[in-house]
Amino acid sequence: MTSTRAAIGALLRKELRLELRTFQVIPAMALFSVTTLIVFHFSLQANSVDGPLAAGVLTVTLLFSAILGINRLFVADQEEAGFDGFLLAPVDRTAMLIAKAIALGAFLVVLELIAVPAFALMLLDPDLTGAALGQTVLVLLLADVAIAVVGTLVGALAIQTRARDLIVPLIALPLLLPVVIGTAKALAPTFALAGAQALPGRWLAILALYDLVFGLLAYAVFDFLLED
């Protein structure tokens, strides 16, 4: 257990230092999200949005931005023989799954610190303060866990192919469709024009259940996926 924790910590530090050194993932995700919001701003031909439409716009923007991060998640390991070195190390293979998922989750949080205020400024009519802000954070954290776990699994699978930029969205988007629906449904009352309403417990439960099921599934299959 101690060696696994040490391996997770070492891998996580490597991921964060690599991003701080190169700035390849987060700037691309943030720029894409802001550009997408600008496109929505002009294509919807509306000064502001609220309710289900606002929730859908934010959810889709964050999901598509996350795809960029998933595409780059294992690139350095593939190009610099990181997989071979890790497989030779006497540690649990799932350490890489956990470290990569935490790193991707951290990237998503940073993305949302940029994208959500930009969304509120450019498109959202109700003010994103107080209860609305707290509810948004809660829902997005549940969504981040799902995207991080599924994204890590899909990224590890796609990196073994030559067409990873195509494979990642083709696999990840259908798998994350319940997350898109659940996040949009959960956020819709928060962005109501009359003010934030109570979060729908059913959709929060669905997101939490999705996190649990896919977390266990990824933990079960990642070892075999990495060695193949």
How does pLDDT run across 189-216, given as a tens digit for each residue? 999 887 778 889 999 999 999 999 999 9
* Mean pLDDT, all residues of the chain: 88
pLDDT of residue 20: 87
Number of domains the chain is built from:
1
The region of weakest confidence among 52-61, 67-76, 169-178, 198-207 is: 67-76
Contact 77, 83 (CB under 8 A): yes
pTM metric for this prediction: 0.91
Q: Tell me the residue range of the domain where 98 lies.
A: 2-227
Q: What is the average per-residue pLDDT within 169-198?
A: 91
Separation between Cα atoms, residue 77 and residue 85, nearest integer Å: 9
Q: pLDDT at residue 1 above 60?
A: no
160 pLDDT band (50/70/90 cuts)?
confident
pLDDT of residue 166: 87
Separation between Cα atoms, residue 185 and residue 200, nearest integer Å: 8
Q: What is the average per-residue pLDDT within 74-82?
A: 70
